[in-house]
């Protein structure tokens, strides 16, 4: 049995099939009020809001494919996601059309047509995450959902020093959550850049892919090393043996920003 | 009938009555997730959270008196509030003690002892509000609850020009909400400063007191004048006749920050 909605949808698909365009969206969001990227029943998610916005604004029921999931409370400066546009809407108008119906804490920054075989997740070459630490003993009400606070003074030189051992191709099973569902723990980290900006420390981690909680555990390892809670040997052993207990704490989600997903289109 | 809680409270009061200290708190808060300052049943308010924090951390049931109310969604850089401390806690330790139990979006920045006849509302000489406008055509997900967006380009020189007519002692009945409960509409505005900082416009309004929605309507008047929706004559007539319809729009709450309440102690 098909509902009227689906009959309309399939008729439209037939009509515009020749005009199908694969669209890549660049999306900024404040993740504080969402249960993460991935659509789930009965909770607000970024994917759910975007699919709903596409349906209500241009009348097309779609699945939007993200470059990857982000957890509850995690933000994005530039999440990427693709979908197939089957209605005759100019691509350049899509950001304004969607922004008008999306909640104020989700913004479409760009829309562009990509080849039909492009996939936001499988075509990506690199992904960059930023982690933001508020390194101050003072409480700041406006950073509650925007950064992780570490009260003790951190040493960015020390953090950058230990980071170099994580750069390269490694088995990162010691640097992911026990909930990680994969058989291949090998990932390549291209760079880790640690920089202080006043009371803030920004850590940019660029890699070809990340395991569950991997960025938050890498950052927690740099922090715990700087605080003297871990030695260089602990970190090297966490890499070598894959023993999660040797690596650092899992930093909280609110400091994490998906900064970019990079493709060679 | 007294509950055990109140018996303990009154015994403590008797014991420490000689040690009663009136305390002035300086409070920063992100108002996005609160139904304003004033305590109300069944909703989260700033006053309610602070009174609850005092009760759970130092075991004293108190009423906290703010310098004034802020509406739902309005923020504070430095709200001031007093209460009477009846337990032997060092005043200098109060910020840390309260911050540990307060939610992360409310921060006690300072606590100091003030004279017993000091009152956070009635002793104040000046109050400063800041209004933050994001003056850009682009959507920004991270400003959803932190600024009001005006997409058309605003002219700060023009806004500063019209602002001068509002400075001074005036009857501001044309610049307040119809819900204002007062018989005296006369207030003195000491200064209005309009400044651009990149895509942001910051408007600081300093006065001896403000009517309900007065700052948001003053800012709306500057905005509507800059956009050509109001003439100088409209603004002067709004002042002279008290006709609310001659003044500008009421700007939304999320751009408003209580910047300071000033006393001569």
Interface with chain B: mutation pick from A139, A148, A253, A254, highest number of B CBs within 10 Å: A139
Q: For B23-45, give the DSSP string.
A: EEEEEEE-GGGSS-SS--TTS--
pLDDT (tens digit per residue) in B113-131 = 999 999 999 999 999 999 9
The answer to whether B199 faces chain A, any CB pair under 8 Å, is: no
- Statement to judge: residues A96 and A214 lie in one domain: no
What distance in Å separates residue A196's CA from the closest CA in chain B? 21
Domain edge (last residue) among B114, B137, B159: B114
Is A119 a domain residue? Answer: no
- The single residue of A71, A84, A161, A199 carrying the catalytic annotation is A71
- Statement to judge: residues B105 and B190 lie in one domain: no
The per-residue pLDDT for A3 is: 56
Which pairs with CB-CB distance under 8 Å and at least 24 residues apart come from A162-166? A162/A221, A162/A222, A162/A225, A162/A226, A162/A232, A162/A235, A163/A192, A163/A194, A163/A218, A163/A222, A164/A192, A165/A232, A165/A235, A165/A236, A165/A239, A166/A192, A166/A218, A166/A221, A166/A235, A166/A239
Mean of all residue pLDDT scores within chain B: 93
> What CATH number corresponds to the domain at position A22?
3.30.70.580
Residue A4 has pLDDT above 80, yes or no: no
Question: Can A234 be counted among the known catalytic residues?
Answer: no
Residue B138 has pLDDT above 80, yes or no: yes
Q: Which residue do the tokens 């850049």 mark?
A: A193
Is B232 a domain residue? Answer: yes
- Statement to judge: residues A243 and A137 lie in one domain: yes
Is B120 a domain residue? Answer: no
Domain edge (last residue) among B114, B140, B157: B114
Q: Across the interface, which of A30, A142, A145 has its CB nearest the CB of B141?
A: A30
pLDDT (tens digit per residue) in B31-80 = 999 999 999 999 999 999 999 999 999 999 999 999 999 999 999 999 99
- Statement to judge: residues B137 and B106 lie in one domain: no
Catalytic residues of B: 71
- Statement to judge: residues B161 and B200 lie in one domain: yes
Q: B147 to chain A: nearest residue by CA? A: A104
Is A13 a domain residue? Answer: yes
Q: A141 to chain B: nearest residue by CA? A: B105
> What CATH number corresponds to the domain at position A235?
3.30.70.660
Domain edge (last residue) among B114, B147, B180: B114
- Statement to judge: residues B103 and B136 lie in one domain: no
Is A230 a domain residue? Answer: yes
Interface with chain B: mutation pick from A95, A142, A149, highest number of B CBs within 10 Å: A142
The ipTM assigned to this model is: 0.90
The answer to whether B155 faces chain A, any CB pair under 8 Å, is: no
Is B90 a domain residue? Answer: yes
Alpha-carbon radius of gyration of chain A: 21
Q: A27 to chain B: nearest residue by CA? A: B141
The answer to whether B144 faces chain A, any CB pair under 8 Å, is: yes
- Statement to judge: residues B87 and B136 lie in one domain: no
- Statement to judge: residues B208 and B151 lie in one domain: yes
The answer to whether B132 faces chain A, any CB pair under 8 Å, is: no
The per-residue pLDDT for B1 is: 44
Is A120 a domain residue? Answer: no
The answer to whether B99 faces chain A, any CB pair under 8 Å, is: yes
Is B92 a domain residue? Answer: yes
Residue B19 has pLDDT above 90, yes or no: no
Q: A32 to chain B: nearest residue by CA? A: B142
| Residue scoring higher pLDDT (A10 or A62) | A62
The answer to whether B145 faces chain A, any CB pair under 8 Å, is: yes
pLDDT (tens digit per residue) in A161-216 = 999 999 999 999 999 998 877 889 999 999 999 999 999 999 999 999 999 999 99
Residue A2 has pLDDT above 60, yes or no: no
Query: Which pTM value belongs to this model?
Result: 0.90
Domain count, chain A: 2
CB atoms A28 and B103 under 8 Å: no
- Statement to judge: residues A13 and A35 lie in one domain: yes
- Statement to judge: residues B231 and B157 lie in one domain: yes
- Statement to judge: residues A98 and A132 lie in one domain: no
- Statement to judge: residues B215 and B251 lie in one domain: yes
Instruction: Please give the residue range of the domain that contains residue B89.
Output: 4-114
pLDDT (tens digit per residue) in B97-111 = 999 999 999 999 999
Residue B169: CB partners within 8 Å, gap ≥ 6?
A: B186, B187, B188
Q: How far is CA A77 from CA A32, A110, A138, A259, B256, in A?
A: 13, 12, 26, 5, 25
Report helix, strand or coil for B237: helix
CB atoms A105 and B141 under 8 Å: yes
């Amino acid at each position: 049995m098909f509902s009227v909605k689906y009959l309309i949808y399939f008729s439209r698909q037939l009509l515009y099939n020749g005009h199908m365009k694969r669209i890549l969206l660049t999306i900024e969001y404040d993740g504080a009020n969402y249960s993460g990227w991935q659509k789930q029943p009965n909770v607000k998610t970024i994917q759910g809001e975007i699919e709903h916005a596409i349906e209500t604004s241009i009348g097309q029921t779609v699945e939007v494919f993200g470059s990857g999931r982000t957890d509850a409370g995690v933000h994005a400066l530039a999440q990427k996601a693709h979908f197939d546009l089957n209605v005759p809407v100019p691509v350049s108008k899509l950001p304004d059309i969607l922004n008008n119906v999306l909640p104020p804490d989700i913004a479409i920054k760009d829309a562009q047509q990509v080849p039909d075989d492009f996939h936001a997740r499988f075509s990506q070459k690199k992904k960059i995450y930023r982690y933001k630490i508020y390194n101050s003993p003072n409480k700041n009400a406006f950073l509650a959902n925007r950064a992780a606070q570490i009260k003790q003074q951190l040493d960015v030189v020390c953090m950058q020093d230990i980071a170099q051992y994580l750069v390269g191709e490694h088995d990162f099973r010691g640097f992911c959550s026990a909930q990680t569902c994969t058989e291949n723990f090998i990932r390549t980290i291209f760079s880790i850049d640690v920089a202080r900006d006043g009371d803030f420390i920004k850590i940019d981690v660029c890699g070809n892919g990340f395991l569950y909680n991997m960025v938050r555990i890498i950052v927690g390892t740099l922090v715990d090393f700087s605080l003297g809670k871990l030695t260089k040997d602990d970190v090297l052993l966490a890499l070598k043996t894959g023993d999660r207990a040797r690596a650092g704490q899992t930093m909280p989600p609110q400091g994490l920003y998906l900064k970019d997903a990079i493709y060679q289109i």
